[in-house]
């Protein structure tokens, strides 16, 4: 057996999707990306929700970390919805999200977990995507409740913008990667950098984009390094007034005033 035939077999085993059977490249607006590892219990519901909302301008890409629970069979069975999937070992969720940029074709990218769902507002917000230096974000169902917040500089010290509601232009990932030293909040770190970057704007849309599951890994994993760096990151990337309001909220007036005197 020739080396080329052997290589082809490896490729068919580790990747697939309808894109590999196409001869014409489509003009794509949005890439929906899901990174998975042993997600066989929840992945079918996500795939169905994407199939219900997918159009010719939207692709679905799955980057799997070499699952062993039947996830790969589910990917193979749903290649009518999945444009491209690949399964290789990775160094965690953010490593897989960084790698996904090698496979997406859309001008904007949104990340979903295998236990999330797309909602009808997804199609509405897709029609608004115009400026390729703008990060658009919408609303979502968050822990069973509607989350409708329009962010400002200070509110970003309270809560990260949920990635399941954000449409990042591809230009963001031409400039930045997810920093792997933050094992849970690399997306929070990315949003802070982009918020401070004059080349990017954040625009809110009132449409309900997705359902965010209660069981995300941030609910049980701790990001010790992010917690250690958080004060420094807020000071570096946000307005000084927002930073000191955050210190006043977390340390109290005298703690905030001491930091102010020390210029910390």
Yes or no: say if 159 and 150 are a contact pair by the CB < 8 Å rule: no
Tokens of residue 57, six digits: 């301008």
The DSSP letter of residue 24 is: S
| Residues 172, 102 share a domain | no
| Residues 165, 98 share a domain | no
| Residues 179, 239 share a domain | yes
Last residue of a domain, one of 115, 133, 155: 115
| Residues 124, 187 share a domain | yes
Yes or no: say if 112 and 39 are a contact pair by the CB < 8 Å rule: no
Does an H or E element contain 202, and which? strand 201-212
In this prediction the pTM is: 0.91
Question: In whole angstroms, what is the distance from residue 60 CA to residue 50 CA?
Answer: 8
Domain that holds residue 62: 1-115
Last residue of a domain, one of 115, 149, 167: 115
pLDDT, position 7 = 41
pLDDT, position 193 = 98
pLDDT, position 262 = 74
Per-residue pLDDT of the chain in tens (264 residues, 90 and over written 9): 444 444 444 456 899 999 998 876 778 999 999 999 999 999 999 999 999 999 999 999 999 999 999 999 999 999 999 999 999 999 999 999 999 999 999 999 999 999 999 999 999 999 999 999 999 999 999 878 899 999 999 999 999 999 999 999 999 999 999 999 999 999 999 999 999 999 999 999 999 999 987 655 555 689 999 999 999 999 999 999 999 999 999 988 767 767 778 777
| Residues 250, 127 share a domain | yes
Question: In whole angstroms, what is the distance from residue 223 CA to residue 184 CA?
Answer: 5
Number of domains, the chain: 2
Secondary structure (3-state) at 177: coil
| Residues 128, 38 share a domain | no
| Residues 128, 109 share a domain | no
The radius of gyration of the chain from alpha carbons, rounded to an integer in Å, stands at 20
| Residues 132, 27 share a domain | no
Note the helical H segments in 54-159.
71-77, 93-100, 121-126
Cα of 216 vs its chain's centroid, Å: 13
Question: In whole angstroms, what is the distance from residue 16 CA to residue 1 CA?
Answer: 22
Residue among 14, 31, 161 at smallest CA distance from 90: 14
pLDDT, position 216 = 58
Last residue of a domain, one of 115, 133, 157: 115
| Residues 99, 141 share a domain | no
What CATH number corresponds to the domain at position 45? 3.90.550.10
| Residues 262, 137 share a domain | yes
**Phi first, then psi: what are they for 3, rounded to 5°?**
-65, -35
Count of C-beta atoms within a 10 Å radius of residue 134 = 17
Half-sphere exposure of 33 (CA within 13 A, CB side): 29
Looking at the DSSP bridge assignments, the partners of residue 118 are 210
Task: Give Cα separations from 204 to 114, 139, 142, 187, 196 (angstroms).
Answer: 24, 8, 16, 18, 17
CB-based burial, 23-46: b 16+ in 10 Å, e otherwise: eeeeebbbbbbbbbbebbebbeeb
| Residues 136, 258 share a domain | yes
Task: Give Cα separations from 2 to 5, 8, 11, 16 (angstroms).
Answer: 5, 10, 15, 22
| Residues 184, 101 share a domain | no
């Amino acid at each position: 057996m020739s080396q080329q035939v052997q290589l082809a077999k490896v490729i068919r085993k580790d990747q697939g999707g309808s894109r590999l059977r196409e001869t014409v490249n489509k003009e794509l607006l949005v890439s929906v990306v899901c990174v998975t590892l042993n997600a066989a219990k929840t992945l079918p519901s996500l795939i169905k929700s994407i199939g219900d909302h997918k159009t010719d301008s939207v692709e679905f890409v799955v980057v799997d970390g070499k699952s062993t629970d039947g996830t790969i069979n589910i990917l193979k069975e749903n290649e009518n919805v999945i444009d491209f999937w690949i399964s290789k070992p990775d160094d965690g969720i953010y490593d897989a999200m960084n790698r996904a940029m090698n496979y997406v074709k859309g001008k904007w990218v949104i990340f979903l977990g295998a236990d999330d769902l797309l909602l009808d507002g997804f199609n509405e917000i897709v029609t608004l995507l115009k400026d390729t230096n703008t990060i658009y974000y919408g609303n979502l169902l968050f822990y069973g409740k509607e989350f409708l917040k329009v962010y400002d500089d200070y509110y970003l010290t309270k809560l990260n913008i949920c990635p399941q509601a954000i449409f990042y232009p591809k230009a963001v990932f031409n400039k930045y990667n997810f920093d792997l030293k933050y094992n849970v909040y690399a997306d929070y770190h990315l949003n802070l950098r982009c918020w401070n970057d004059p080349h990017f704007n954040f625009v809110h849309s009132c449409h309900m984009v997705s359902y965010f599951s209660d069981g995300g890994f941030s609910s049980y994993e701790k990001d010790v390094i992010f917690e250690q760096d958080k004060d420094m990151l807020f000071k570096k990337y946000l307005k000084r007034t927002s930073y000191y309001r955050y210190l006043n909220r977390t340390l109290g007036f005298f703690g905030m005033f001491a930091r102010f005197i020390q210029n910390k």
